[in-house]
With several copies, the nearest count.
Chain A
């Protein structure tokens, strides 16, 4: 069902955890759908220097979370914005069709985290 890469990331997920003083946090999903994902980023000079996650969900949800935190590290915000669901799925050698739709939320969580970072900075700038 899952590619070897998905299984590898599911069994050894990278960057699990929370960032206490995160610059941006993105949360997505709900338990009815089956997956909840929380993604934390730390930004320095327009670059994401750290990303961590916590995920309640199936193998695909955990693996995509792990993969997204790997993909994003060191990227500028502009580059990070281009990371889509497809980018993540491809990096994992594909996902089963049924999982593409519902358990592939990590890219969305990342976008939310970036947005959160921007909102926070705007709020700071206005102070």
Chain B
């Protein structure tokens, strides 16, 4: 059966160029980067080269780049690491209602530890209003964290503007850029953020590795204590092959940013156009113009999401409902709820996220089979009258 993967927001395959750069580090240059002998030095050199590569792409200094075990860990470090290190300065944190669970659950942990967290609303297009941020800031606010690109709907937040509001008041600003990397050219100086989280497996790099930019001078305590790896910000033997893979993936995805954005936007647009023509009562979530080019989040009135995913899956097509992470729960997406979407519509939301290997044929194929699937499920549904 033909297999079409349209779930690149959940994870991406490791590119062959990336895997190739990683391979020697599994069993040839396998040394521990902390060892002083030749095996260790080879690993250390590669590790520091990777760090410089990442730093250069972000316009950071290499001493501001720290490798972690993934996006979730980077987010946890940013939120808990700074909030707990700055308890004396204040106890208030601001984030948004549409953050990834890595941010939201870290904030809930802080609340249990006695800190206070404000969750900013978003409008129906999925955007945080800078005025809301201004109003939420208190004298004891120590950290603001707003995601760059939302993983469910693909909406881009005005990070530069939001960041300025926080920084003008001397408050740390973190952004979860896991979904932004490879879609937006990220420059930490231009953004002026203090922290920025990334993940390998969303950019055709390996799983189990991420990075975080931490601006020089930011007070932060580590999540994992132990050896003095990563300048004592993240203990644990460095995952050299994965780190090298991460840097290579980021380099490639950045180099091809424009061409891939164009390619993926073409696919997305064509797909959307085909669906609009063939499926009535379809709803697009999020602002059409402020989104990354590869992601569409759609509901088909009267139809529940998982049943669409399963139906597409039996035809070899992989898509998601909301984020992969929330598939363990049955509640409607917290992101769509925050956008004010009716629960029955939110339960039907499907995320289509295109990738570099997708083609116009993929678009044709999926747009070809989807109307029938929706029609069949609507015929079973008590929420969709035939005449509508």
Contacts and interface: CB of A to CB of B under 8 A. Distances in A.
Q: Say if the two chains contact directly (CB < 8 Å).
A: yes
Interface of A: 1-2, 7, 10-11, 13, 16, 27, 30-38, 54-59, 61-62, 98, 102-103
A76 to B, nearest CB: 27
B375 to A, nearest CB: 13
A1 B36 contact: yes
A33 B302 contact: no
Main secondary structure of the interface of A (DSSP, over half): mixed
Contacts of B305: 58
B344 interface: yes
A86 B152 CA distance: 34
Contacts, number: 72
A30 to B, nearest CB: 8
Best-buried of B328, B331, B380 by chain A (most CB within 10 Å) = B380
A21 B305 CA distance: 31
Given A32-B331, A33-B330, A102-B330, A13 B36 contact: no
Given A1-B41, A34-B304, A55-B381, 11 more contacts: A1-B36, A1-B44, A13-B380, A36-B383, A38-B382, A55-B380, A56-B383, A57-B306, A58-B307, A59-B306, A103-B330
Contacts of A31: 332, 342-344, 347, 383
Interface in B348-388: 379-384
Best-buried of B41, B307, B314, B344 by chain A (most CB within 10 Å) = B307
Given A36-B383, A38-B382, A56 B332 contact: no
A32 B343 contact: yes
B307 A10 contact: yes
Interface string B320-341: 0000000011111000000000
Given A98-B330, A103-B330, A35 B314 contact: no
A102 B306 CA distance: 14
Contacts of B44: 1
Nearest to B342: A31
* Closest CB pairs A-B (n = 3): A31-B344, A58-B306, A54-B382
B192 to A, nearest CB: 29
Contacts of A57: 304, 306-307
Given A34-B332, A54-B380, A55-B380, A62 B307 contact: yes
Contacts of B384: 56
Best-buried of B328, B329, B344, B347 by chain A (most CB within 10 Å) = B347
Contacts of B310: 2, 7, 10, 58-59
A1 B40 CA distance: 10
